[in-house]
Structure 1
């Protein structure tokens, strides 16, 4: 049976996204998402958002619901990716881009989108030391 989390604002306010339990998966609670998006409310519309370790996809769907131009969700757990794809289809969320790979691989990929092109960047976990080089702005 799938778990559910409600989108709290924007065009999909009140709609639910589904996700399955997985080891380490802890969707961001509604109250925290509400506070985060209250802080970001003037910055989300038209933005490019990056959600590393997307998990349930709740933060990315919340950003898309509130008018983000692009949302890139990076996740490597196969079941989590399946649920993100299914939810994006159900919502007809054309701004959602799912990258099915490990975050460190995504950050180091020479042909992938640079994390610096995103106006809002989120990581659901504390940055591991091996990703520190990905967080540094490009030289020049």
Structure 2
């Protein structure tokens, strides 16, 4: 039996999850979930294969469509009630209302998408998903 003082019920070959809060914060800041210093993204949404500071491998990430769905969820749930409040309170012209909310939705989406992608990658890293927790032949993560 392994000498695992964190959780006695973990299988011998499985490591405990990493701290979730710092990983999510680092991901939201678009920084490496491991060290918090290296950039996570190169460009707008492209993920570095490894951290330029701590050399943590990041190519394991499988964010795929998750950040886009979360962005749609957040933008929709923020803007729909706001649209209703603005319409019932001030009754602006339809073209003005459309223009303001179209620009607001696009801007909020462009702001949230890379941050949510970083947070999803941070979550995957913290939970050792998709190869982030594999141990190689030498016993190093």
TM class, shorter-chain normalised?
under 0.3
TM-score by length of 2: 0.21
Higher helix share: 2
Higher strand share: 1
TM-score by length of 1: 0.21
